[in-house]
Chain A
């Protein structure tokens, strides 16, 4: 085995070292953020484990400013000599570019962040837990009627360390465990289940597996919609609703507003949704999957009410967007683009059964994917429901339906929210980037279409 001079430093030491090198090279300001992650994953398909993964990474983001010029670097090489060279390269590159009009200095006095580790230590090295959980989920799916199941289980701890030339310093860590399981009885009959938790205590692979299995059984012999092109009431599960409502955090980013890639441009203080809807970006709280106490500029994070009783209340800011919008940072940096931490959709007071009873002609959707926008400025989009999808007539779930597409605009849909459930779930998976605490949501007047042409018989 070859030998190398490691020269590797602890994360906080790396940060301090990079800041000191930048100062020696003449930078006015420097912020360094090191992110250390230990991720474990078990994937399965056809009820058989397909791969186990362990990924240990440490990456550093370096922000430098001098005379109104700014540059950002990211490096995965924490070795001392390489880091010094990298910071040197950044300083040199920074001086080759002109001044940046959107530059805003860091606050003169930094802050010290000290948060006690509150993450679940069992998720630091969860490899021994994961295959067992995968087995539990598969058994539950098959026990509920599935012939086979596919999915992924991931668990890990992420630590953030920050240091800045104004004296800011801090570190924090968080954990989470996520299960995404899909069960099948045949190629056209599938069901979906999720369990997302910040700790082992709140994690329920058996419930998620059973839910996926039950839907896969219910979806056997699904028919095609006989009224395509019509409008329906749609009851969205937390999985589906979070795919759409969770996007509000990105659309509320001041960067998206400036770039014209948001339907919320020019809507501050205006009605953008039904009075039933409250929506908040939260940086911490019970069960938060992505808690943060400081942002990428070293500013304290908080809770930002984005929509209150249907009215747009705030955009998300970092220091430079806040200056241009003549407001204060909301602690959501992103050095270039402010973004959400976790989205909380306010609870309603209905139960699932009460919401179904309220539907004359409608559809219950339990999962969806491939949401794409025709125009981010207008919020027009379409998305494809999959897995458990059911036609509702006169307050009763009648039959499983396949092969449909939802086509609408976010503002119209959110303005037509009629009911929200009391129960909520944390959702984060392939189709939901920002962790979202979300209820069931009933929306009226949604356009549903289906594709032209015959569908071949399912492949054997």
Chain B
């Protein structure tokens, strides 16, 4: 991407916006290039090559915010963009009852890059196709070994790409970044005797092509499809009622993301996402509020190496830091951007991200996880006399205040006498947020992550994140079937 060619457009945009009366101005050259390949039931589909970039401008004028974006990069285009952004913000200020201020966050001047042992550019369509073919062969071999279970539907997409940005703000931020990524998504359907089971697998990291080996992608997908066949063939009706439940890293991660990360986004708390992604059960006064047991610890860390949500500097040019969201069951921190931190009078932890030049930066999670504890997985399971180990999930959802959530298990085992036993079919944990985090009794040492795309904003922005955690023991929760 010719980012160097257009840096002075961004500098010009900020300078001119300030001259035109903006109290704050920010410009971002943002783009990405990459390739993708889709293999459906062993048959290749057309390869996909993408190249997209443009400029975004955001200003505060008289307490009103204006945002504009275009990929039509010319002298006149950027000039018009700047003037339009300021004009629209100024015109809307008469309908602004809560003036917006970007406050005084500490602006970063930094270059961000990610190490690639095997350059991501090597992931051309042919490389991606070979990778997916190798995975498909393994699944077909799993099918041959499975007793009467067929896996006829195997849809996989692998993609590589590089995201590049240049961000400049009127208070001195100047950030350049280059983040390469690998992403895999697969959906597999197993059939037997008129019944069907389905598993979605998603993996993604930042780095070069070495990611595929580092995450053992081929082995991982092979194992997931083997288990899928077993679930369909062997799982029995699950027990229902009040019992102890162990959540795997995958379940701990989705619960942390949905019922801790989202309700602790300050923009939701302050109502900005009210008509789309919703608000929060928390208020601006909820810091220090007890929502979990003394064993509940949840964090969001944008600085984790290799992570899918890696973003050490945010898209408002502010250094991002690890956020301790819940410590010992108490709410300790919200995810902040410049405006919310200014309004709430707290330190900005740099949580503002955008997926492309045509989207405004908004508060986003990065890598949200339950903090690991001191137990081994076996030690946690041993504490359960009669319960369920939820290892993977299918369907999930949560209300828009982030209180009433549901996770339906796919790979799930009955626990009896402190040992995992038979597979059980589709047990359901449907529980309120305080009941879930209030029931945490222990956490294992291991910490694992899953890749996900988190949706928020209008227009919608699906942004790469990790969700993760250790095994988490919940004491006495209700299970449905």
Contact = CB atoms under 8 A, between A and B. Distances in A.
Interface in B1-31: 5, 8-9, 12, 31
A215 interface: no
Contact of B430 (A43, A101, A371, A452): A452
B231 to A, nearest CB: 12
Interface in B255-296: 270-276, 278-283, 285-286, 291
B245 to A, nearest CB: 11
Interface stretch (A69-77, A196-204, A233-241, A419-427): A69-77
A93 B84 contact: no
Given A49-B92, A93-B49, A131-B92, A449 B430 contact: yes
B196 interface: yes
Contacts of B426: 374
Contact of B397 (A78, A384, A430): A384
A325 interface: no
Given A45-B275, A451-B431, A451-B432, A260 B153 contact: yes
Interface string A14-52: 000000000000000000000000010111111111111
B477 A53 contact: no
Given A57-B71, A93-B49, A459-B281, A372 B404 contact: no
Contact of B431 (A63, A100, A453): A453
Given A72-B47, A72-B49, A73-B49, A453 B394 contact: no
B125 A96 contact: yes
A336 B478 CA distance: 44
Interface string A216-258: 0000000000000100000000000000000000000001001
A373 interface: yes
A76 to B, nearest CB: 4
Contacts of A96: 124-126
Given A6-B74, A377-B198, A86 B397 contact: no
A113 interface: no
Contact of B458 (A54, A56, A430): A430
B246 interface: no
A384 B477 CA distance: 21
B358 A98 contact: no
Interface in A100-152: 100-102, 127-128, 131, 134-135, 148, 150-152
A427 B457 CA distance: 19
A372 B70 contact: no
A25 B279 CA distance: 54
A318 B306 CA distance: 39
Nearest to A62: B49
Contacts of A382: 395, 397, 406
A71 B48 CA distance: 6
B272 A372 contact: no
B305 to A, nearest CB: 31
Contacts of B79: 1
Given A57-B54, A75-B52, A454-B435, A2 B9 contact: yes
Contacts of A43: 272, 458
Interface stretch (B34-42, B313-321, B345-353, B374-382): B34-42
A352 interface: no
Contact of B196 (A89, A336, A377): A377
Interface stretch (A166-174, A176-184, A271-279): A176-184
Contacts of A74: 48-52
Nearest to B432: A453
A459 B94 CA distance: 30
Nearest to B48: A72
A3 B75 contact: yes
B47 A55 contact: no
A322 B470 CA distance: 47
A336 B45 contact: yes
Interface string A306-348: 0000000000000000000000000000011000000000000
Given A58-B72, A134-B95, A374-B394, A76 B281 contact: no
Interface residues of A, number: 101
A150 B43 CA distance: 46
Nearest to B399: A384
B47 A459 contact: no
A459 B286 contact: yes
Interface string B54-96: 1000000000111111111111001100001100110110111
A261 interface: yes
B contact residues, range: 35 or more
A383 B396 CA distance: 9
Given A259-B40, A372-B396, A451-B405, A86 B54 contact: no
Nearest to B151: A260
A396 interface: no
Nearest to A385: B399
A41 B414 CA distance: 51
Contacts of A405: 397, 404, 406, 430
Interface string A404-425: 0100000000000000000000
B454 interface: no
A259 B187 contact: yes
A447 B37 CA distance: 40
B98 A46 contact: yes
A51 B53 contact: no
A48 B72 contact: no
A44 B458 CA distance: 11
A27 B62 CA distance: 55
B398 interface: yes
A142 B88 CA distance: 25
Interface in A416-457: 430, 449-456
Contacts of B275: 45, 150-152, 180-182, 430
A350 interface: no
B155 A259 contact: yes
Contacts of B49: 71-74, 89-90, 93
Contacts of A229: 480
Given A96-B125, A370-B397, A405-B430, A452 B95 contact: no
Nearest to B129: A97
B201 interface: no
B148 interface: no
Nearest to B95: A49
Contacts of B40: 255, 258-259
B360 A102 contact: no
A52 B67 CA distance: 6
A8 interface: yes
B373 interface: no
Interface in A374-391: 374-378, 380-384, 386
A31 to B, nearest CB: 11
Contact of A131 (B52, B91, B408): B91
A86 B51 contact: yes
A4 B4 CA distance: 13
A50 B98 CA distance: 8
Interface in B118-161: 124-126, 129, 152-153, 155
Counting chain A CB atoms within 10 Å of each CB, the highest count among B8, B51, B91, B125 belongs to B51
B460 interface: yes
B273 to A, nearest CB: 8
Contacts of B405: 451
Given A46-B98, A100-B44, A180-B276, 11 more contacts: A52-B89, A55-B68, A57-B72, A71-B46, A75-B50, A93-B126, A127-B91, A259-B41, A451-B432, A452-B477, A453-B432
21 contacts: A4-B5, A4-B75, A48-B95, A48-B97, A72-B47, A73-B48, A73-B50, A73-B51, A86-B51, A97-B125, A128-B91, A131-B92, A152-B276, A184-B274, A229-B480, A255-B40, A259-B41, A370-B398, A386-B399, A430-B276, A455-B432
Interface of B: 5, 8-9, 12, 31, 35, 38, 40-41, 43-54, 64-75, 78-79, 84-85, 88-89, 91-92, 94-98, 100, 124-126, 129, 152-153, 155, 187, 189, 196-198, 270-276, 278-283, 285-286, 291, 358, 360, 394-401, 403-406, 408, 426, 430-432, 434-436, 438, 458-460, 477-478, 480
